[in-house]
Amino acid sequence: MNTKPTGIHHVTAIAGEPQRNLDFYEGVLGLRLIKRTVNFDDPGTYHLYYGDEVGTPGTAMTFFPWAHAPRGRRGAGQVVATAFSVAPEAVPFWEDRLRENGVPVAERIGRFGEEGLAFEDPDGLLLEILALADGDDRPGWTDAPVPAEDAIKGFAGATLLERDRRRTEELLTGVLGFRAVGEDGNRFRYEIGGGGPATALDIVEDPGAGRGNPVVGTVHHIAFRVPDEETERALREEVASLGYNVTNVLDRNYFRSIYFREPGGVLFEIATDVPGFAVDEPVEELGTNLKLPPQYESRRAQLEQKLAPIELPRFGEGARA
Q: Would you write out the chain's pLDDT as a tens digit for each of its 321 residues?
A: 889 999 999 999 999 999 999 999 999 999 999 999 999 999 999 999 999 999 999 999 999 999 999 999 999 999 999 999 999 999 999 999 999 999 999 899 999 999 999 999 999 999 999 999 999 999 999 898 999 999 999 999 999 999 999 999 999 999 999 999 999 999 999 999 989 999 999 999 999 999 999 999 999 999 999 999 999 999 999 999 999 999 999 999 999 999 999 999 999 999 999 999 999 999 999 999 999 999 999 999 999 999 999 998 765 444 444
Full-model pTM: 0.96
CA distance 217 to 65: 10
Contact 254/35 with Cβ under 8 angstroms?
A: yes
Spatial separation of the C-alpha atoms in residues 181 and 169, rounded to whole Å: 12
Q: What is the CATH number of domain 7-306?
A: 3.10.180.10
In contact, 77 and 162? CB cutoff 8 Å:
yes
Cβ contact 76:161 at 8 Å = yes
Residue in 177, 79, 81, 194 with CA at minimum distance from that of residue 134 = 194
